[in-house]
Amino acid sequence: MSPAAAAAVENLSAAPARPASAGSRTERLLQRFHEIRDFTTMLSAHLAPEDCVVQSMPDVSPTKWHLAHTTWFFETFILKKWLSGYQPEVPEYAFLFNSYYNAAGDMHRRDLRGLISRPTVDETRRYRSSIDSHIDDLLSGADDRLLDEIEPVLVLGFHHEQQHQELLVTDIKHVLAQNPLHPVFRQVERGRADIGKAAPAPVSFVEFDEAIVAIGHEGAEFSYDNEGPRHRALVLPFALASRPSTNGEYIAFMEDNAYARAEFWLSLGWTTVNEQRWQAPLYWEKRDGKWWNFTLSGFRPVDESEPVTHLSYFEADAFANWSGARLPTEFEWERAAQDLSWDGNFVESERFHPQGATPSAGGSLQQMFGDVWEWTRSSYSPYPGYHAEPGALGEYNGKFMCNQYVLRGGSCATSRTHIRATYRNFFQPEKRWQFNGIRLARDPR
């Protein structure tokens, strides 16, 4: 965290001293709780209140809404259930800040979140502090039996908040990108912006033999329900690109007039690209014959060495066709990632932008984690034997298993402690505002 951000966090979280906890388990849970809550505060610390209320499209939520909704999650699923005598200070927040949990009650319309000027940003921050201190009280007074009940939901709340941290970053990028003044979210410190400026090694393909592979999460560590049950899958021989495709490679696709050549596009993609008049990735603009792009550090020339991002599934698929390749399945991707460490350019680096591949890359898989989510050609579907749990928290993943594609690996806006080899992200194929990119795959030659 930069010194300025740290100071801002200190000011914003200048709450009364946290209560001493009763034991190491409580201490560990509360420490993690506050680390995650403070990171959200840090991400929003440099924004003006005016930045925090804009909704630039229905998919985007205002920063203020993310701050409140993540708080609502802890209030609704923990305090209301386990804190005896708990009375919400503002009962109407249950309606305003519910996202999609039908079993938790009615909710405000998603596409109208930008019209809500009250509570103010300050009131929303006070709401966060109030709920945080109730969580402090609840956990500090809980015995092991009660902690056994609370901990799984609390940990789900941690990961839920990390998902919203990523959305906060991608949503504020979309908000700021609408402004012709090109506001800067965070100036990347001098020197760090130059990482990865050298030309990446040419892409190579790593080959994998046919195998029956164990797919899905196993073990006591946290995972989402959509990562299970673990099961066997037949993965035929394939080859996977050594690194994500770059801006330079994507410019070659554009310069080959590929956005106007139907032969590379899925039918729905061709319709979409023409209706939307897409000519380049989201946030790109041509000025005096050169491509520029809007980043969270401002508007700047496109760096050809960086992984290309802000692409729809349709564009990723068309690029793969143009390249004589295809997108990997999620099973191929998981097989390739199973033994790799989860290192990469994540949100904790505070770079907020994908990083160029290292020149030495080649012959092995680089940047599988972090930088850009990688579109797979797998529809987001339940694994064999999957059943969503009953109740509101069962709505978390299962009801979205229709008309979406799986992405793997995390991005520069994902937390390092949020990603796994089995993690399944998912978006509709036309969505472009996330840090979504491409890793090519091939069948054996």
DSSP string, 188-208: PPTTGGGTT-SPPPPP-EEEE
Distance from C-alpha of 375 to C-alpha of 58, rounded to nearest angstrom: 22
Q: Which is nearer to Fe ion, 99 or 428 (CB)?
A: 99
Strand partners, 212: 234
Measured from the CB atom, the residue of 79 and 266 that comes closer to Fe ion is 79
Candidates 51-59, 79-87, 95-103, 124-132 — which segment interacts with Fe ion by CB under 5 A?
95-103
Minimum distance from residue 395 beta carbon to Fe ion (Å): 10
The smaller minimum CB distance to Fe ion, of residues 99 and 404, is found at: 99
Size of the site for Fe ion (CB under 5 A): 1
Considering the rule CB under 5 A, would residue 417 count as an interface residue with Fe ion? no
> Going along 46-153, which residue ranges are E strands?
none
Q: Which of residues 36-75 bind Fe ion (CB under 5 A)?
A: none
Burial 264-282 (b: 16+ CB within 10 A, else e): bbeeebbebbeeeebebbb
CA distance 149 to 142: 10
Instruction: Find out whether 444 and 325 touch, Cβ atoms under 8 Å.
Output: no
- Using the rule CB under 5 A, give the single segment among 94-102, 137-145, 198-206, 356-364 that binds Fe ion: 94-102
Residue of this chain nearest to Fe ion (CB atom): 99
Query: Minimum distance from CB of 67 to Fe ion (Å)?
Result: 12
* Residues in CB range of 92: below 8 A, 6 or more apart: none
Q: Out of 2, 99, 130, 140, which residue is the one contacting Fe ion (CB under 5 A)? A: 99
- The residue (of 99 and 381) whose beta carbon lies closer to Fe ion is 99
Cβ-contact 427, 407 below 8 angstroms: yes
Min dist. Cβ of residue 48 to Fe ion (A): 24
Q: Binding of Fe ion at residue 379 (CB under 5 A)?
A: no
Cα(359)–Cα(362) distance, rounded to whole angstroms?
Answer: 8
Report the candidate in 262, 280, 255 with the shortest Cα–Cα distance to residue 318.
Answer: 262
Closest to 6 (Cα-Cα) out of 43, 51, 49: 43
Q: How many other CB atoms are there within 10 angstroms of residue 333's CB atom?
A: 26
**Region near Fe ion per CB under 5 A, out of 93-101, 168-176, 198-206, 278-286:** 93-101
Minimum distance, C-beta of residue 135 to Fe ion, in the bound complex (Å): 17
Q: How far apart are CA 153 and CA 394, in angstroms?
A: 12
Residues ≥6 apart with Cβ < 8 Å to 152: none
Kindly indicate which of the ranges 7-15, 57-65, 92-100, 314-322 contains the residues binding Fe ion, using the contact rule CB under 5 A: 92-100
Measured from the CB of residue 388, what is the shortest distance to Fe ion in angstroms? 16
Q: Which is nearer to Fe ion, 101 or 322 (by Cβ)?
A: 101
In angstroms, what is the minimal distance from the CB of 72 to Fe ion? 9
Q: Which is nearer to Fe ion, 100 or 286 (CB)?
A: 100
Shortest Cβ distance from residue 324 to Fe ion (Å)?
A: 40
Closer by beta carbon to Fe ion, 110 or else 326: 110
Shortest separation between residue 164's beta carbon and Fe ion, angstroms: 6
Fill in the DSSP letter of residue 40.
H
The residue range among 91-99, 202-210, 296-304, 322-330 that interacts with Fe ion, by the rule CB under 5 A, is 91-99
* Residue number with CB closer to Fe ion (385 or 391): 391
Residue type, 175: V
Written as six digits, the tokens of 375 are 């579109």
CB nearer to Fe ion: pick between 99 and 129 = 99
For 275, the token pair is: 């209706």
Q: How many CB atoms lie within 10 A of CB 425?
A: 24
Residue 128 CB, shortest distance to Fe ion, in Å, is: 15
Q: Which residues bind Fe ion (CB under 5 A)?
A: 99
